[in-house]
Amino acid sequence: MQQVENCGEEATVDVQFTDLPNALIACKVPEDLFDEDGLKGSFEALFRSFDPEVTFQYFKSFRRVRISFGDALAAAEARLRLHKTDFKGKEMRLYFAQSVHIGSPRLEPPKPDKQFLISPPASPPVGWEQSQDATPVINYDLLCAISKLGPGEKYELHTATPTTPSVVVHVCEDEHGGNGGGDSSSAPDDSDQDDKPRPPRPKIVQTRRPDFTPRVEQ
């Protein structure tokens, strides 16, 4: 109990040391302690001098003993006096038992902080709308101008500026005689190609293996 004075008024403040543990864990105890009642009585008598109401919990599989006191001050005093002391040929180690409860003593599910990593998402975000595809633009003037072009002619789509080049469409010349007045007979005719027999494929001749000459070992 502690009294403090604030603005001329006395107020009583109850100070509780709730963060201090009131239990100890005994390690490196003899193995016979868990089976012999007489050895348990000698062990428990060491701690009953600090708190007559002390309780013990034996964990044979871990070779640990939990000693629970009535308050934290008794636990601290027992550890100060008995830590690293000899008990039946063993150096006993005493540590504070930590029991931490954050918020509720029940186990709560984790917070959904990383649900945005789910792919695909369970539902679209708020305010999301389906985007509409743009309507294709058809330049009928351009199609009309290109349809009127003949072989070898060109059409300027975009006039050159000081910063951009011009865009010009060139129409390919006809491969049957439209290449500057040449002889059209030099171009092969597809109809004649269908009537002529195709030449046979050349036969692949395999390389002959050289003759085997037995080697005479001396």
pLDDT of residue 102: 54
**81 lies in which domain range?**
23-96
For residues 35 and 157, which has the higher predicted lDDT (pLDDT)? 35
Residue 191 within a domain: no
Q: Residue 55 pLDDT > 60, yes or no?
A: yes
Q: Tally the domains of the chain.
A: 1
* pLDDT tier for residue 134 given thresholds of 50, 70 and 90: confident
Residue 158 within a domain: no
Residue 135 within a domain: no
Residue 38 within a domain: yes
Indicate which CATH number applies to the domain containing 31. Answer: 3.30.70.330
pLDDT of residue 64: 92
pLDDT of residue 112: 67
* pLDDT tier for residue 176 given thresholds of 50, 70 and 90: low
pLDDT of residue 7: 42
pLDDT of residue 93: 92
Residue 16 within a domain: no
- φ, ψ of residue 9 in degrees (nearest 5): -110, 140
Give, rounded to a whole angstrom, the gap between the first and last alpha carbons of the chain: 113
* pLDDT tier for residue 26 given thresholds of 50, 70 and 90: very high
Sign of the Cα torsion 32, 34, 40, 44 reads positive
15-19, 121-125, 174-178, 207-211: range with highest mean pLDDT:
207-211
For the chain, the 3-state helix, strand and coil shares in percent, each to the nearest 5, are: 20, 20, 60
